Amino acid sequence: MSVQKSITVEEVSKHNKPNDCWTIIDNNVYDITKFLELHPGGKNVMINYLGKDSTQVFNYFHAPIVKSKYKNLIVGVLSTPKPVAIAPILSYKNSFGEGIPMGDPNYV
């Protein structure tokens, strides 16, 4: 097993732009820069979580197996046990929906 790089919340917060974006999910730090354009729900639902902890919203909308599909995006682990601030789960409301059929999690 390889040793993961330890990354601070402050370092993650610097990667908060669409061309350089990291997020935290369950204390793992993911570089989602290349994935942003490929996200099935559209990139706008992820914009509010760039440089922040998205654990709560990720776990709300995704089955646990989804994380295993993206292990290659992990760049390190959070150096502190809990992030300083977790973005609220409903912060996507104003930027939600990009006209992608069945891309919105609440689409029925």
Domain 6-89 - what CATH class? Answer: alpha beta
Q: Which two tokens stand for residue 61?
A: 């909308």
> What are the start-end ranges of the E strands in 1-108?
6-7, 16-17, 20-25, 28-31, 74-78
Give 51-90 pLDDT, tens digit per residue: 999 998 899 888 888 888 999 999 999 987 664 455 555 5
List the domain boundaries for the chain.
Answer: 6-89
Maximum distance among all Cα pairs of the chain, rounded to whole angstroms: 42
- Condensed to tens digits (0 to 9), the pLDDT of residues 14-25 reads 999 999 999 999
pTM, full prediction: 0.73
Task: Assess contact for 79 and 87: CB atoms under 8 A.
Answer: no
